[in-house]
A and B are shown apart, each in its own frame.
Chain A
Amino acid sequence: MIHRIAVAVVLALVIQPAGAQDKPAAVKKGAKPPAAAPAEPKDAATLEFEKFRTQMEQEGNPAELHEMRGEELWKAKRGAKGISLAASCDLGLGVGVVKGAYVQMPRYFADAGKVMDAERRIVWCMVEKQGFKFDDLAKRPFASGDYTPEQTALVTYVAAQSTNMKIAVPLKDPHVKEVYEIGKEVVTYRAGPYDFSCNTCHGEDGKRIRMQNLPNLSTPQGALTAVLGWPGYRMTGSVMLTHQWRMNDCFRQQRFPQPKYASDTVTALLTYMTANANGHMYKGLGIKR
């Protein structure tokens, strides 16, 4: 760590502004390289969080409660059409098959004519097979306070049935490949008042915002870091959140407007990062800070 800070200080010395009209004074001659400022690899809050997470993992992840609710919802006859998802919803491996489905999405669904991630597909099934209204599902799509949307519980259930299975987004399918390539472009797109793209923070290795490590989405390891732990139980606010939510909140922090719920753009991002993690193990429901 000290070495890393020393490197950063040296870099700061080397980097000089480029504007010829406005050349600042050079570094004073004879100035000694400064002692590295004190810094810890992990701040106290991070250590506290990690202790808490270990404890929760031993005692049971609260996400499992949402998984149980999701299983009930999956199997119950519901909606205007009074049919269960178990009897009507194909997540890519056949109607009702949930084992291994999560790690093989996003994928192309011919009946919808779209590439869809797990949450989008579940919502599609709720609308098309069960007769729920999309606008109702999109009104409050993510958990907050005591409220957890049904689709969140369903995603949690479906994801848990892929625990310890290899991520295998079917990139050989040209439909999926096309959406992957579009996702690769979406992450580079800079706009908004702060000129941010996804890649401003997530395009290089070894960067941090405050103490938070930033995964580089273009690498298998970075993409894996971004995929693991979703859906996850977030201790801040005690809420169950999905990967769709994570994308939504990234755009908020990017100072972008809000992506429509279950949109093509979010699917493209999830396709890009999940496929980049292909071949790695999905470890199941997460606990997030």
Chain B
Amino acid sequence: MKNSPRYSILAASMVTLVAAMPLAHADGDYRAKALAMIKQDFVGRGQATADRVNADGLQTICNRTGNKPPEGIAKRLEADQLAAVKLPADGKLLGDWKSGEQIAQSGRGFTWSDAPGLAVGGNCYNCHQIAPKETSFGTVGPSLYQFGKLRGNTAETQRYVYRKIYNAKAYNLCSAMPRFGHVGALTEKQIKDLVALLMDPNSPVNQ
């Protein structure tokens, strides 16, 4: 067997195949390589620990499906996220819109340069138009100007807004918006104040 001509031909063709392989990768292989690279290349700093690069179940599904999960899976997982939302025990959802405005302005929190334990901001204006006075607003998310005025300040809508801020993925599994309550970024009081910013008839958002 050893050194037979047939074996040599086989070996030669194998070498050719292996040499050609980098060009023949499917997307999945690149994804696996990217993941392996990311896992080896990050180190913890400050509160941003190294394990943050590990995707959780929801993130994994969004990553694997290009943020377009099959509808059945999306509906089931959205229901799971929704079921885990903790509504305030006192049943009151409308906080202080003035405080909500400050929270909406702040983009602090969770980076390796933020002091752990300090109050986290809502990052809202980074992506949304909200109160008309603030003209420096982002456009990654839809405008929320006149949110309450357009929808009506009902208990049902307040509940929706609270839940949406607590966990945006309960309504849109691969939404770009963070899960502020779910991950413990915003407190119950902070979310109530943000609900007030959007819903309170006296909030500048609804003037």
Contacts and interface: CB of A to CB of B under 8 A. Distances in A.
Given A8-B139, A9-B143, A191-B54, A34 B149 contact: yes
B70 interface: no
B139 A185 contact: no
B185 A265 contact: no
Interface in A7-56: 8-9, 11-13, 15, 17-19, 21-28, 31, 34, 37-40, 43
A257 B112 contact: yes
A252 B127 CA distance: 18
A38 B31 CA distance: 44
B38 A13 contact: no
Contacts of A38: 132, 135
Contact of B66 (A11, A12, A188): A188
B119 interface: no
A266 B143 CA distance: 34
Contact of A39 (B110, B127, B129, B154): B129
Interface in A227-263: 251-253, 255-260, 263
A195 B78 contact: no
A177 interface: yes
Contacts of B142: 8, 11-12, 15
B1 interface: no
A202 B34 CA distance: 18
Classify chain B's interface size: 35 or more
Interface residues of A, number: 69
B72 interface: no
B52 A28 contact: no
Contact of B22 (A174, A190, A211, A266): A174
A193 B52 contact: yes
Interface in B75-103: 78-79, 82
Contact of A252 (B63, B111, B126): B111
Interface of B: 22-23, 25, 27, 30-31, 33-35, 37-38, 40-45, 48-50, 52-56, 58-59, 62-63, 66, 78-79, 82, 110-113, 125-127, 129, 132, 135-140, 142-147, 149-152, 154, 156-157, 159-161, 163-164, 169-172, 176, 178-179, 183, 185
Given A182-B30, A209-B140, 16 more contacts: A8-B129, A9-B143, A11-B142, A25-B156, A34-B146, A43-B135, A183-B34, A185-B33, A188-B66, A192-B48, A208-B137, A208-B138, A209-B138, A211-B136, A258-B45, A260-B43
6 closest Cβ pairs, A-B complex:
A185-B34, A37-B132, A194-B178, A24-B160, A263-B41, A8-B143
